[in-house]
Amino acid sequence: MHRYSVIYYFGGMTLFFLIVQLLTGIMLMLYYRPSAAEAFESVEFIMTVVPFGWLIRSLHSWSANLMVFFAFLHLVTVYFSKGYRKPREITWITGCILLFLALAFGFSGYLLPWNKLAFFATKVGTDIAGAVPVVGEWTLRFLRGGDRVTGGTLSRFYGWHVAILPAFLTILLGVHLLLVQIQGMSVPPRAEEEASRRRPMKFFPNFALRDLFGWILALGVLVAIAALFPWELGEKADPFAPAYKDIRPEWYFMFMFETLKFVPGGEIFGVEYEAIPILLFSLGGLLMVLVPFLDRGIERTGHSRAFTVVGVVAVTYMVGMTAWGYRSWAPILVVAATVALVYVLRWGTQRAKREPES
């Protein structure tokens, strides 16, 4: 172990919120009805009649957001600590795909309450997908199950949310965790010498018990947030009602949504201007997956400052555009508080790490 060891717990924290998602999701399935005529009423029934139903739904919604937050945090820390370098290329790739699946879970689950905000946000989101050249129209119809957002779209999203995505997630998560167990934790290049002087920490019981302690704290925080700020249901979707003027996606799509608002109307060579940033975001996601094969400098020299700079620019852009989209400093403060907390935990565990492991 070494002075950067605190970042190793973010992956476990993501796994914890995923487990909460699975357990609360199964309980919600007992009462939820995936049709346009009954979806909203069934969620309303869960929140007002089922004992502690409101708390279960609130836990499900809050843990979904916290899972995505920690997934992003886990990816960012692994990226800047160069944890993707050989022989962990496949671990990185499966981790990136798991993040994409987490975003897909958020997108597909957003429509399920069938309220106004979810309905129009899904319409805007699928419209954006439809702007992609060549495959856009097919993608739009595939997502919606037709030309418009209807009850068929709701049923389709429900199928993806509770069956298809969990199947992919189970396989990829199994591979990801197996590789972590086989290869062990990566060590940042600047901490390799320090780590070589220390006795490696056993996963069972030492690391697992620390993970469990963090999970217990996270459970307490999650329950407190869910109880104090229960997730609202809103009004039932009306496909014939005018759209909201200030409709916004979930926070993790905000930087892309806000970018598209700066794009003027028009087209060039038959391609709409709006499609250009969508293609650039898609290219950025692909390059992120391929980073272990692109960053060869880390193998040759132990440094890859260009990739570090690119990462800093990307994170700054995402956080800045999210803050701009909400017209609020809150996203920047959340990031600053997270960085401060990591440094406090790192400082607070320094003394413990100097002691030999039993």
**Of the candidates 26, 58, 350, 79, the residue with the CA atom closest to the CA atom of residue 229:** 58
CA atoms within 13 A on the CB side of 65: 14
What are the C-alpha distances in Å from 62 to residues 9, 39, 101, 246? 20, 20, 17, 23
60 and 28 in contact (C-beta within 8 Å)? Answer: yes
Residue-level pLDDT, tens digit, the chain, 358 residues: 666 677 888 999 999 999 999 999 999 999 999 999 999 999 999 999 999 999 999 999 999 999 999 999 999 999 998 889 888 999 999 999 999 999 999 999 999 999 988 898 898 888 888 878 778 889 999 999 888 899 999 999 999 999 999 999 999 999 999 999 898 877 777 777 776 777 777 777 777 888 888 899 999 999 999 999 999 898 898 888 777 766 778 899 999 989 988 888 777 777 778 888 888 999 999 999 999 999 888 777 777 889 999 999 999 999 999 999 999 999 999 999 998 888 887 776 665 555 544 4
